[in-house]
Structure 1
Amino acid sequence: MDQAQASGAKPGHPPPQSTLHEVRTAENSAAFLLPKLRSMKESNAHLKLLDVGCGSGTISTSFAKLIPDGQVTGIDVNANIIPRARAVAEKAGVENIEFQQGSVFQLPFDDETFDITWCHQVLVHIANPWDALREMLRVTKRGGIVAAREGDYESECVWPELPGLTAFHGLMAGLMIAGGGTPAAGRQLLSWALKAGAERRQIELGYSAQSYNTPNERTILSQGMCQQLRGGGFRDRALKFGLEVKEDFEEMAKAWEEWAQREDATLSSLHAEILVQK
């Protein structure tokens, strides 16, 4: 679950976008952070890690497995998703983890509480993301790490360019902007960190590609998008933000299904990754 989105889930149950979001783990979504985490664990087995915008907790839970003697805290603005995150951790047999509701703009923790503070696909959805990064820096210990990975939606490359997918891309960009977010977030992540008060010498910047090319990857992506298109999530958000909804949501869903079945179908987009040494 992204920080600014409502899941529409019943407490303890998968949100509509779980097909897509719950495949996320520390290994596939935070690979750039893991070498630093392992290095820090060698000198301090009792690391404390905060996952901001934790959603249904799959990344948080995989972090907890990597630091069994440490403690992971997941926080999300949406209270309805917290029972689902707890259920995910319980099913995985993870106990060194806790979840709570809260905002990235007012984290309910003292200064210098965590060794690592992390977020994924959160800043892309919110206004004034530098304020969020500043708050993440506040709760991070001196010598600790603030890590963020954010997509750059405007860098998305998709083939074949089906009309329904083109319409979908425009809808998503419009929803991001209307909600206060930034479709071109990834390319601005370094700038936001500097605006938050970090110095350039403290920041490591890199990029990776998020791709959906195999039959299984295409199916997961297609199913996740169709769930929200047919379940009303996208339409409800468009109406909430006062957007004029001209697109045929069923046609967009059919385009996703057609795309998933094509042997020549590919989709990829850039993600920016930063490590800020406090």
Structure 2
Amino acid sequence: MAQAHNAYMPGYAAPQVKHHEWRTAENSAAYLLPTLQTMVKANPNLKLLDVGAGSGTISTSLAKYMPSGTVTATDISDDILERAAEYAKEQGVSNISFQSADIYELPFAANSFDIVHASMVLSHLDAPVQAYREMLRVVKPGGIVANRESDLRMWSYYPESAGIKQFHDVLLATTVEAGGNISAGAHLVTWAMQAGAKREQITASMGTWMYSTPEERGMWGGTMAERIKKGGMRDKALQMGIATEADCENMAWAWVEWQAAEDACHGMMHGEILIRK
């Protein structure tokens, strides 16, 4: 019998994951692109697996860098994969396919892919080392596993407000309660080594996101407000007794005020890793 694992707390409702569709290879996988481009020159027919692809915006933009290769994008949600397929079609990208798959039991033979990529997936998992073992299993010798994960502790934002501070505290507490890891970005090297990778096979780095333009503030602030107005994070906070209905309304309003401020900004730090098999 397969081991039971924790559920994905944020869920897949469009307002809850709107910020996922802001992500591209350029703003979320820049650490991978030089290696990808070098590998494409050596082998134009690369096979790339994107695990936990969600809305597929990163998957589709990666596919553009390897037009003679193929991308297989997976997720546990059939609904979000339908949206990902629509997005790829809108972008005119045809060298990509979509398949339902569990990161713990990938339905692929060993040594199937040149690159296995995951973005903001392992931070939500209760067994990230097991996930790394599976990703390493399906990547070819000489290939790479590429992964980027948030360190949710590392928020830097302006203007400061009690509402956003409380939201951050609630996010951290509910993520832990749901089985996720709030310091995932700092754990990638140790997880990879626990999964069997040698330290000399690993290249680690840190990256950031910054939300500052009106469009970025609207996307990020709007998504965060939706998360605390309804959905898994709100439900978990109320269940844990760490926030009231009134608190949730105040936190949502704090994000509305933040996104309306012309001088507002929000930065986040992420760990990044390339594992050469």
TM-score normalised by the chain length of structure 2: 0.92
Are the equivalent residues in 2 in contact too, given 1:7–1:16 (CA < 8 A)? no
Residue of structure 1 in register with 2:243 after alignment: 246
Are the equivalent residues in 1 in contact too, given 2:16–2:231 (CA < 8 A)? no
**1:53-132 to 2 correspondences below 5 Å:** 53-132=52-131
**1:94-243 to 2 correspondences below 5 Å:** 94-238=93-237, 242-243=239-240
SS at match of 1:55: coil
SS at match of 1:62: helix
Measured after TM superposition, the shift of residue 268 of structure 1 is 1.3
Consecutive unaligned residues in structure 1, runs of 5 or more: 10-14
Please give the root-mean-square deviation of Cα atoms over the aligned residues, in Å.
1.7
Residue of structure 2 in register with 1:32 after alignment: 31
Measured after TM superposition, the shift of residue 81 of structure 1 is 1.3
Are the equivalent residues in 1 in contact too, given 2:9–2:233 (CA < 8 A)? no
Measured after TM superposition, the shift of residue 27 of structure 1 is 1.0
Are the equivalent residues in 1 in contact too, given 2:113–2:139 (CA < 8 A)? yes
SS at match of 1:181: coil
* Residues 91-100 or 25-34, more deviating: 91-100
SS at match of 1:95: coil
Consecutive unaligned residues in structure 2, runs of 5 or more: 1-6
Q: 2: distance between equivalents of 1:133 and 1:156?
A: 26
Q: 2: distance between equivalents of 1:8 and 1:214?
A: 25
Q: 2: distance between equivalents of 1:8 and 1:206?
A: 29
Measured after TM superposition, the shift of residue 233 of structure 1 is 4.3
Q: Could you give the per-residue CA deviations for residues 174-205 of structure 1, whole angstroms, max 9, x where no partner exists?
A: 22111211101111111111111100000001
Change (3 A) 1:27 1:8: closer
Measured after TM superposition, the shift of residue 8 of structure 1 is 4.2
Are the equivalent residues in 1 in contact too, given 2:10–2:233 (CA < 8 A)? no
Does 2:1 match 1:4?
no
Q: Which amino acid aligns with 1:148?
A: N
Are the equivalent residues in 2 in contact too, given 1:74–1:98 (CA < 8 A)? yes
Q: Could you give the per-residue CA deviations for residues 234-272 of structure 1, whole angstroms, max 9, x where no partner exists?
A: 323546xx4225242221111011112224422212111
SS at match of 1:56: coil
Are the equivalent residues in 2 in contact too, given 1:77–1:102 (CA < 8 A)? yes
Q: Which amino acid aligns with 1:220?
A: M
SS at match of 2:160: coil
Change (3 A) 1:57 1:262: same
Measured after TM superposition, the shift of residue 5 of structure 1 is 4.2
Q: Which amino acid aligns with 2:29?
A: A
Are the equivalent residues in 2 in contact too, given 1:126–1:179 (CA < 8 A)? no
Q: Could you give the per-residue CA deviations for residues 161-184 of structure 1, whole angstroms, max 9, x where no partner exists?
A: 211111111111122111211101
Q: 2: distance between equivalents of 1:264 and 1:95?
A: 40
Q: 2: distance between equivalents of 1:118 and 1:4?
A: 19
Residue of structure 2 in register with 1:12 after alignment: none
Q: Which amino acid aligns with 2:11?
A: S
Q: 1: distance between equivalents of 2:10 and 2:191?
A: 24
Matched pairs, number? 269
Q: Which amino acid aligns with 2:48?
A: L
SS at match of 1:158: strand
